């Protein structure tokens, strides 16, 4: 195993808990993400992935526990945090009647030093759709606009929830190259995904969630080794199955 270079802590979750009525969505989650690190969050549906990143983004208040993003509390330091945070939500619409250009103009007005319009269009390969209304775009193109808008403010932390869902293989690869460039630039990335190939390619480390708890954490090789399988996908099945088994016993 390579000895990791010590880096600053960018995101720190401590004993984070969130309950929706009778469902415990996140159950005492503790996690550290370092500056410039790309962390993949994997888990079956309902594992608590989206709730966790929504709490980090300040969209939901935890019932218990502590969140720190670059030393900031997502609720107490809301204004400062939004300067360094870029978020692409799994659910979250944009103004359908505005064109891609108009949306970028609007979002650029939110930040003191935004990326250029042309740069953003190039990043997500939508230069030919600049004057097309958002509502007229395909699902994949809308997803790319959403990612572009998450990058407008030159974020230090980027949260991507289901980054490439709905994209065709070519668009997925283009998007991956964009994310790799951001990693190279030192952006801290939280990537929620169902795509094993995606997290294998893009992430330094992976957290596997089940029932709101961490089932496994480490590099791809470490998780595969822990599960005693050959691939990450097999490890995912084995480890989440183990969780289900434990729950059934309980």
CB of 134 to other proteins, least distance (A): 11
Our CB check for other proteins shows the closer of 91 and 230 to be 91
What would you report as the CA-atom Rg of the chain, rounded to the nearest whole angstrom? 18
Binding site for other proteins (CB under 8 A): 1, 3-10, 12, 32, 34-35, 57-59, 69-72, 77, 79-85, 87, 89, 91-98, 102, 105-107, 109-112, 153, 156, 205, 217-219, 222, 226
Our CB check for other proteins shows the closer of 114 and 212 to be 114
CA torsion sign for 80, 84, 89, 92 is positive
Our CB check for other proteins shows the closer of 5 and 45 to be 5
CB of 218 to other proteins, least distance (A): 5
CB of 186 to other proteins, least distance (A): 10
d(CA 105, CA 107): 6
Our CB check for other proteins shows the closer of 47 and 149 to be 149
Phi-psi region of 129 (alpha: psi -120 to 50; beta: other; left: phi over 0): alpha
Please, which residues bridge with residue 158 across strands? 86, 189
Query: How far lies 200's CA from each of 20, 110, 203, in Å?
Result: 31, 33, 6
Pairing of strands 157-161, 188-192: parallel
Our CB check for other proteins shows the closer of 135 and 168 to be 135
Phi and psi at residue 2, in whole multiples of 5°? -70, 145
Pairing of strands 9-20, 23-34: antiparallel
CB of 217 to other proteins, least distance (A): 6
Our CB check for other proteins shows the closer of 3 and 22 to be 3
CB of 169 to other proteins, least distance (A): 27
Quick one: tokens of 157?
Answer: 């932390």
CB of 224 to other proteins, least distance (A): 12
Residue for token pair 């050959």: 230
């Amino acid at each position: 195993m390579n000895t990791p270079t010590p880096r600053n802590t960018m995101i720190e979750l401590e004993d984070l808990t969130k309950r929706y009525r009778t469902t415990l969505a996140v159950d005492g989650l503790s996690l550290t993400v370092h500056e410039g690190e790309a962390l993949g969050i994997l888990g079956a549906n309902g594992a608590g992935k989206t709730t966790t990143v929504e709490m980090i983004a300040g969209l939901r208040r935890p019932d218990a526990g502590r969140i720190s993003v670059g030393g900031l509390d997502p609720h107490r330091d809301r204004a400062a945090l939004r300067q360094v945070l870029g978020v692409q939500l799994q659910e979250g619409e944009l103004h359908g009647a505005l064109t891609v250009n108009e949306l970028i103009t609007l979002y650029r007005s939110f930040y003191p030093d935004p990326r250029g319009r042309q740069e953003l269009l190039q990043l997500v390969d939508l230069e030919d759709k600049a004057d097309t209304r958002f509502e007229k775009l395909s699902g994949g193109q809308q997803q790319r606009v959403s990612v572009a808008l998450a990058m407008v403010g030159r974020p230090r932390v980027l949260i991507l929830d289901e980054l490439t869902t709905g994209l065709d293989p070519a668009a997925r690869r283009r998007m991956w190259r964009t994310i790799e460039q951001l990693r190279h630039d030192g952006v801290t990335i939280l990537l929620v995904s169902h795509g094993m190939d995606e997290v294998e390619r893009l992430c330094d480390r992976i957290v596997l969630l089940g029932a709101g708890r961490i089932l496994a954490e480490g590099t791809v090789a470490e998780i595969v080794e822990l599960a005693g399988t050959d691939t990450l996908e097999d490890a995912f099945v084995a480890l989440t199955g183990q969780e289900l088994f434990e729950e059934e016993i309980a």
